[in-house]
Structure 1
């Protein structure tokens, strides 16, 4: 067995060294690069949903799904019972909802928003490091 060593100053180590006891009473973890200090405002913007246009597109997506289910149900019902009439406005409503939803997603993609600005800032921070 090797002799226990109490002093580790000025030495160069090429393999792990096991130290008996607590080498430090308040250890600190350090990172090789400067950490990104995330503010509460930035965290809220990143963790919460998108902006106005994203919310509008999601609402229209829900409407389009509802119109599609209704359209399919009426189509099946009209095949089973002649008194149920499948009308063109149902198809038009579904198509208009899809077009408006696509337009909202396009506007959201083109218009700058706070969430994308913060994500870009964080990405630039880590690219520099």
Structure 2
């Protein structure tokens, strides 16, 4: 995979991870025992956002036009870094893939953060 494709994949994975963190940290009905886990998620969310800000991908939004996203991502700081350090791209891609997998897997969420979803029945 070339550096441009990797940069686009990494930006998309970053967006997925950011959106998952946003979902979990905005839950208003968290039980008292999960508050420590939510604080941990908020800290990790802040770290991810800082990372995205540093690499100039924090503003990427999957709802925008794919064509304009491609050209903007191609010019960003991360793309330049990956071009000069292609061996790092696979590591970044693997880390964000693992993070996205954890944040979207019920069993992993329960094991790591104690977060469990319950279906609410309509009254």
Larger Cα-atom Rg: 1
TM range (shorter): 0.3 to 0.5
Q: Which structure has the higher relative contact order (CA within 8 Å, separation 6+)? A: 2
Q: TM-score, normalization: structure 1?
A: 0.36
Structure (1 or 2) with the greater helix fraction: 2
